[in-house]
Structure 1
Amino acid sequence: MTQKTDNETTLTEILAYEEKVWGALVAGDPEADGALLSEDFLRVYTSGYSDRAAHMAEVEDGPSMAEYRLSEARLMDLGEGLVLLAYRADFRKPQSPDWDAMYISSIWKATPSGWINIFSQDTPAT
């Protein structure tokens, strides 16, 4: 699906940035993770809030994900230089044979050097 928004941003383009975040979680690379997040990044979990530093800390001691699959992606134009990506993530954590699933909404902002994630909210799939 390559739906275009008014500013010609494609779902494929933004999904590729989101995949880089997941790739950093699989690689256990906090610098790669942080490079994709704004300084004032906010994440909403079922347990509360997280900022950029806390998100990066999840992978300081190694990968927080073993593998993942993203599906059901949708892109919404929020205005000049802002888009919301919503999708389903099926994932498996290291040392776990079990897969979990979440629906995730991420807001991405255009910058001169590319897109940066400013907000993300996870909702467990039931």
Structure 2
Amino acid sequence: MTLAAEIEACERAVWQALADGDAAADRAALAADFLGLYPDGFAGREDHAGQLARGPTVAEFALSQLRVLPLGPDHALIAYAARYRRPGRGADEDMYVSSVWRRRGGGWENLFSQDTPAMGDRLP
């Protein structure tokens, strides 16, 4: 499996955990020192997984324009566009996401993620 395929699969697994409301899977994908940077501020691993205490935070999602950049032998960055819908809401939302993944213990863990709301025209 290529680096790009590995990192994309890891990133999609985080989204699937959000769609399934699976806090344990979300927590397992994130590094203990995970840092999230979002429009409403910073979040750690427990903040990220804790949002699932009330159930799924994503009803549907689609990722596009994926790009993976190696950052050395044990780190990689993925950047992409995401279109998603929250449970109970009719309108899709669009954002750009970048995440840094770190190789650890034979797998990958999400070390950093930043979400940037898309402005202007909707994503293709």
Q: Give the shorter-chain TM-score range.
A: over 0.9
Q: Establish whether residue 69 from structure 1 lines up as the match of residue 62 from structure 2.
A: yes
Q: Establish whether residue 31 from structure 1 lines up as the match of residue 24 from structure 2.
A: yes
Q: Establish whether residue 54 from structure 1 lines up as the match of residue 72 from structure 2.
A: no
Using the alignment, how far apart are the partners of 2:94 and 2:34 within structure 1?
A: 22
Figure out how many residues of one structure are paired with residues of the other and give that number. 119
Higher share in helix: 2
Structure 1 equivalent of residue 117 of structure 2: 124
Matched position secondary structure for 1:88: strand
Q: For the aligned residues, what is the CA RMSD?
A: 1.1
Matched position secondary structure for 1:79: coil
- Out of 87, 101, 108, the residue aligned to residue 80 of structure 2 is 87
Gaps of 5+ in 2: 120-124
Determine what percentage of the aligned residue pairs are the same residue.
44
Gaps of 5+ in 1: 1-7
Paired AA for residue 83 in structure 2: D
Q: CA deviation at 1:9?
A: 4.4
